[in-house]
Amino acid sequence: MARLRATASAARSVLDGCEHDGMLSRVGNRFFQTHKSDHQKAGFKAHQKARSRSYLAAVMDWFARRILAWRLSNTMDASFCIDAVEEALAKYGCPQVFNTDQGSQFTSAEFTGLLISNGIEISMDGKGAWRDNVFVERFWRTIKYEEVYLHAYDSVAEAQHSIGRYLAFYNARRPHTALDHRTPDQAYFDRLPLRTAA
């Protein structure tokens, strides 16, 4: 199979029997400390408070900027990233390409094995190449300034609840200029063709 490039024009996948254009997703991760398309991207971001650190993993559809799945953890192992990816795969199907950075969670045998076992092409960012994951980096900036920095979470449970509420808003009600002022949900679901009744 020819290696696909990480561009919106190069990617296509099939979800629930419907063609799905654009980048499917990218998993990213960042850590937070508490008071953490045809192409998937994972990311992870950290937020710190006095004593506790939590890590957020998110699976994003690159085309629609929609967060397909996410997990919060107090450890930086691969398991919570794998859980987020498994949820995205179960709900939205397998993309052709899945992109991550080169973090140890994403290069682990367990994480790469999940992708390989589902027939998904693995793509990783170049070292220090911020442009490779600009959509996820923009998402981390957005969630930090619109959610995390505005709240001093007293516990991981409080952070999880508050971040979950924000992500529901982000997907369903927050318009994006890059999406012609549509929400990620509108961009994601409106592009799927309608099925005819039997």
Residue among 195, 174, 179 at smallest CA distance from 15: 195
Give dist(CA 140, CA 145) in Å, integer. 9
Kindly list the domain boundaries of the chain, sorted by start residue.
Answer: 8-127+138-190
Per-residue model confidence as pLDDT tens digits over 21-51: 333 444 554 444 333 244 455 555 555 444 5
The tokens for 51 are 């004593």
Pick the CATH number of 8-127+138-190 from 3.40.50.620, 2.40.30.10, 3.30.9.10, 3.30.420.10: 3.30.420.10
* Residue 198 vs residue 111, higher pLDDT: 111
**What pLDDT is attached to residue 196?**
56
Give this prediction's pTM.
0.73
Q: Could you tell me where the beta strands, DSSP code E, fall in 52-193?
A: 52-61, 66-73, 97-100, 121-124
Owner of token pair 């199907």: 93
Number of Cβ within a 10 Å radius of residue 83: 15
Per-residue model confidence as pLDDT tens digits over 84-142: 999 999 999 988 888 888 888 899 999 999 999 999 988 887 776 666 678 888 898 99
**What pLDDT is attached to residue 88?**
94
Give dist(CA 52, CA 48) in Å, integer. 7
